[in-house]
Structure formats: structure tokens, C-alpha cells
A and B are shown apart, each in its own frame.
Chain A
Amino acid sequence: MAETGFSCPQTREQVINMYFLEHRAKLLDVAAFLDRLDRARPTASNVDFREAALNEAVRILVDGQPQRAKRILALLSDSTTEIPQSAHGMKGASGAVRVNSGGAS
């Protein structure tokens, strides 16, 4: 399944007119979240893997390449191939993986 070219029925200007304020607010939410992290006392010497993953994901936002949503989801995906026997004792899903354990593929 290939992506089509200009498949959105709106012009660039129409997309900005319709969605800019909504996404301006969402971007400010992310910025304020990162500021909040700065103001919070650390409890471990290492950066939490979720925070590290989020910082990597932010790079994808501004790299100018297509399929940003897909690539961020891939970055946040488990790329391991082992299958544990049982879920017993496993933690709930966290929404991210350690960035150096490999994501996008």
C-alpha cells in the first residue's frame, strides 16, 4: 500500500487555518511537560527510558521527512522477537522502549 501524493482535499493554507490553533496548544502541552520535568527532583541518576524515547521522537518531528507518525510509533515499538511463556508478573505496557534497544524497522 503506497501513500498517495496530495491526498488531503484541503490546500496547505486551509489545513493551517483549520488545525493551527489546536496543534499550537498540543505543542505547548509538550513544552510545558518538558519544563515540568526540569522542575521535578530526580530520583535516579539515569534518564528514564520513556523520557529518552520522547526526546528521540521530538527529533523525528523536525527532521523534515515524511511519515512522522508512523516513524514515531515505530521508535516506540518493541522490536524484540522473544515470546515469554506467561504474562504472570509482567508489568503493564509503558508506551515506549529503551531507545538503544532498537525501534524503527
Chain B
Amino acid sequence: MKYIDPHVHMVSRTTDDYQRMALAGCIAITEPAFWAGFDRSSAQGFFDYYRQLTEYEPRRAALFGIQHFTWLCINPKEADDPGFAREVIALIPDFLKCDNVLGIGEIGLNKNTKNEKIILEEQIALAEKHNQLILVHTPHLEDKRKGTRLIMDALSASQIDPGRILIDHVEEHTVAEVLDRGFWAGMTLYPDTKMTPQRATDVIEMYGSERIWMNSAGDWGCSDPLAVPKARIEMSRRGHQMSLIDKVTLDNPRTFLSQSEKFVLKAE
């Protein structure tokens, strides 16, 4: 069994987690740039983080035969100060040349503010200018539906093909609108506050398996880097075909990510 975890924050995880993921069949991960749990005090903090994502993490993953890809941006939580955010964004173009950078992400909204939206639009423009894929973060609780709609409107105002954009953390009340507007949808499997493997399987039964993937979004909070293989088990014990299970945990991520010429799987 092979799978891809297309959204996991390995900088916050131990090397043991890479080992356990490899044992569970993980062949590749993609790691979006995100909030560290505290606000960085300078743009230099992001420069170091981007080096970690482009130099150090690929080496650590390779020790276990896992390919490591990444996405760069300033996350929405730290994007509420536009002046600071622009200093950070100015660092990104140089890093886009790195071998494992697939695009801009995870951009989006956190508190659905005008400041966040301005920086979201500037990062969409950055992706457009450099012909990059986009990975989108959506707010997690009562602000998810409003935030998802605002983000989709900002994306639709660009010339970027929605098929090159994945909107993550969808739930039952946002997935249909995301898919109907032509975007890809990601479901985040979290032990407490987000989708369970059971609900993610329900969503696939209700909305189909086209343009949709699952990820663990494992990070420094309560999260589970083995959430994707656990969802595979959930689908299997419910009686779904292995071809469907492989589609949503391997084939779909590969199809979306392969739109970047840098995403080439060695294991195949």
C-alpha cells in the first residue's frame, strides 16, 4: 500500500513520525508554510523557515524514502499586518526556484479581515505571475463558510485555472461549493476539531471522488500524522474498493500535484 499525505507540517513532528509514516506506506508528502504557533518577530524568521522547508526537511524525509515537497507563503494568521507581510512576500520569488517548491500555500484567511484579504490577493497575484499551483487554507470554525466564499471570490477574480488550486479543510457545508466552482478540495483529518476518517468517507460517498484528497495536516497541535492510512482503513472496512481508496489517497494527489513539473515520484 502506498499513499501521499499532501498537507502535513513535518517541521513540527519528530523523525519517529517520518519513520512511522514510511512504515504505513507514505511515499511523498507536501508541506505548506504555516503559522508556527507564535508570531515571528521579523521577516528573517521566515527566511530561515523557508530554508528549513527547502533544504533540511527534504533530507530528513529522504532518510525514510519519503519525498518531501513544499509550498511557500506568509500564512493568513501573520498576514494581518500588510507592511510586514510584504517584506516576507518579497523573499519568496528566490525560493520558488528550489527543486521541491510546488507553489504558493497555504494562503487564505484566518479572521476574514480586509488586511488578510489584501495579502491573499497579493499572493494570488504572485502565484499567477510565476505560474505556480496554489494551496488554500480556510478558517476552521464558525468563520469557515464565510471565509471559504471570500477566498473563492478572490481566486475567481484572477486568471488562474481553478483546476490548479486546491482549497483545503473543506467540510460538509463547503465541499459542494468548492467543487462546483471547479477547484480541488482537501479534507483534513484531525482527532478532535476537524473531520474524522468516518466523515471524510461519508463526504466521498455523498459528493464523489473527483478532485478531492485527504490529508493529516499534522502539526504542533493535537494531530495525527497517520490520519491518511487510518482513513484508508475506514474506507476499506466499510467495503469500498481498493481502486477508490487509492484514488483519493494516491492518484488524486499525484494528478493535482503533477501539474507542477517538479512533482515526479521516484517510487514509480
Residue positions of A touching B, CB distance < 8 A: 1, 3-4, 7-10, 14, 18-19, 67, 69-70, 73-74, 76-81, 83-88, 90, 93-97
Contacts and interface: CB of A to CB of B under 8 A. Distances in A.
B171 A83 contact: no
A85 B113 CA distance: 5
Interface in B115-167: 115-117, 139-146, 150
Nearest to A19: B198
Nearest to A68: B172
A9 B239 CA distance: 6
A73 B145 contact: yes
The 3 closest A-B pairs by CB, nearest first: A9-B239, A93-B141, A73-B173
Contacts of B219: none
Contacts of A96: 142
B139 A93 contact: yes
Contact of A77 (B142, B150, B175, B239): B142
Interface stretch (B64-72, B84-92, B204-212, B258-266): B204-212
B240 A87 contact: no
B145 A9 contact: no
Interface in B152-192: 171-173, 175-176, 179-180
Given A3-B207, A10-B239, A83-B117, A77 B146 contact: yes
Contacts of A9: 238-240
19 contacts: A7-B206, A8-B202, A8-B205, A18-B237, A18-B238, A70-B172, A77-B144, A77-B173, A78-B143, A85-B113, A86-B80, A87-B110, A87-B111, A88-B80, A90-B111, A93-B142, A94-B141, A95-B142, A96-B142
Nearest to A82: B112
A27 B63 CA distance: 44
Contacts of B150: 83
Given A8-B238, A9-B238, A18-B238, A87 B80 contact: yes
A95 B141 contact: yes
Contacts of B180: 1
A73 B5 CA distance: 26
A64 B207 CA distance: 21
Given A10-B238, A73-B173, A77-B142, A1 B113 contact: no
B199 interface: yes
Interface in B222-243: 237-240
B106 to A, nearest CB: 17
B113 A86 contact: yes
B120 to A, nearest CB: 12
A87 B113 contact: yes
Nearest to B195: A69
Contacts of A80: 146
